[in-house]
């Protein structure tokens, strides 16, 4: 994934017309969990954990960012903040610039935990930039996906953040595509979130350059089954979440998470590494299944081969995706 620091906007855009000063908008973007086991770089699920960004256009000529919540102390406070740089690049893409920007970000999504924090920041910036444009110049949903995925480098997190529910994404040439799939209402995501972060780049570096046809065929079948299980038949979630492409290779970078994953799957839970990790996602079915998953996680973490402090989050599938509105205050 892209990091939460980005290059500042170029200074060669000062001749562009500005968007109106005095605008005041709010963007709310969900967390996401990509891969879901076998759906490597293609499947992503939106979750009911949200970051919120308030954006005001000013006449100051400067960009300032005030951040609170998860990871706030480590984030830049100028145009290099990923929300700000994504917003500014969206305006530039449309042939506009901001006269000045003030951003207030409230971060709830944990950073570096495989829950799409970078994708959520990018989506927040892209949607905010688009909302600041005059109505006749705003990008449609397809172009918003293209631009957000271009910034991120792939669509598997930005697509569910934009659309909600389950997103199936693919790349064709230089174009990104995604389709939204409704998720069965009985499915309850339960996440075990460790206190240690892991960069996507570090996890991806452990992947081999090629895999066997046998592994590829196994994953293709499970990924297809997973779409069916998520949408229509949750009883198949356990076999559908079996992965043959990436989780075992990445295990050395997150041994406590890999140990927790093995323990949960040995107990029959449909558990996967969330995104690049190190959080562990369990797709539980019904309230009783969610309680059982929570109990199982708490019994396994924090001792032995799963040291550290873990948070257990029972969430829901975010059905609607990111939202943009005028600030009311």
CA distance 206 to 254: 11
- Tell whether 116 is in a known binding site: yes
The stretch 246-262 carries a mean pLDDT of 93
| Mean of the per-residue pLDDT values of the chain | 93
Domain 187-314: what homologous superfamily? GHMP kinase, C-terminal domain (3.30.70.890)
- Tell whether 289 is in a known binding site: no
- Tell whether 169 is in a known binding site: no
CA distance 239 to 261: 14
CATH architecture of 24-178+318-326: 2-Layer Sandwich (3.30)
Going from N- to C-terminal start, the domains of the chain cover: 24-178+318-326, 187-314
- Tell whether 163 is in a known binding site: no
- The confidence score (pLDDT) of residue 4 equals 46
Per-residue pLDDT at 6 exceeds 70 = no
Q: What angle do CA 65, 114, 254 make, to 5 degrees?
A: 125
pTM of the predicted model, to two decimals? Answer: 0.93
- Tell whether 271 is in a known binding site: no
pLDDT tens across 10-65, in order? 457 888 999 999 999 999 999 999 999 999 999 999 999 999 999 999 999 999 99
- Tell whether 1 is in a known binding site: no
- Tell whether 114 is in a known binding site: yes
CA distance 271 to 284: 9
- Tell whether 118 is in a known binding site: yes
Q: Could you tell me the CA-to-CA distances from 137 to 24, 122, 125, 163 in Å, in that order? A: 18, 20, 17, 21
- Tell whether 44 is in a known binding site: no
Per-residue pLDDT at 329 exceeds 90 = no
Mark residue 231 as left, alpha or beta (left: phi above 0; alpha: psi -120 to 50; beta: remaining): alpha
């Amino acid at each position: 994934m892209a990091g939460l620091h980005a290059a500042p906007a170029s200074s060669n855009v000062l001749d562009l017309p500005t968007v109106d000063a005095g605008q005041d908008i709010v963007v709310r973007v969900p967390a996401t969990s990509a891969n879901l086991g076998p759906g490597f770089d293609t499947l992503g699920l939106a979750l009911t954990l949200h970051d919120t960004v308030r954006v005001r256009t000013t006449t100051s000529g400067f960009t300032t960012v005030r951040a609170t919540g998860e990871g706030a102390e480590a984030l830049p406070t100028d145009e290099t903040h990923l929300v700000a740089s994504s917003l500014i690049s969206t305006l530039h893409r449309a042939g506009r610039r901001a006269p000045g920007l003030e951003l207030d970000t409230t971060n709830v999504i944990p950073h570096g935990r495989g829950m799409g924090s970078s994708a959520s920041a990018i989506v927040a910036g892209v949607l905010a930039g688009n909302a600041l444009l005059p109505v006749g110049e705003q990008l449609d949903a397809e172009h918003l996906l293209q631009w957000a995925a271009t910034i991120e480098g792939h669509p598997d997190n930005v697509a569910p953040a934009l659309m909600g529910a389950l997103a199936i994404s693919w790349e064709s040439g230089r174009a990104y595509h995604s389709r939204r799939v409704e998720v069965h209402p009985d499915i309850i995501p339960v996440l075990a979130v460790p206190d240690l972060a892991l960069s996507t780049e570090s996890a991806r570096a452990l992947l081999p350059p090629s895999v066997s046809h046998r592994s590829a065929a196994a994953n293709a079948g499970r990924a297809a089954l997973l779409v069916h299980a998520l949408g229509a038949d949750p009883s198949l979630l356990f076999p559908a979440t079996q992965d043959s492409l990436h989780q075992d290779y990445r295990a050395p970078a997150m041994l406590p998470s890999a140990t927790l994953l093995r323990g949960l799957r040995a107990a029959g839970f449909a558990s996967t590494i969330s995104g690049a990790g190190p959080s562990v996602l369990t797709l539980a079915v019904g309230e009783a299944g969610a309680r059982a998953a929570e109990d199982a996680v708490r019994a396994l973490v924090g001792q032995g081969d799963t040291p550290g402090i873990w948070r257990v989050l029972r969430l829901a599938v975010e059905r609607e995706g990111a939202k943009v509105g005028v600030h009311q205050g």
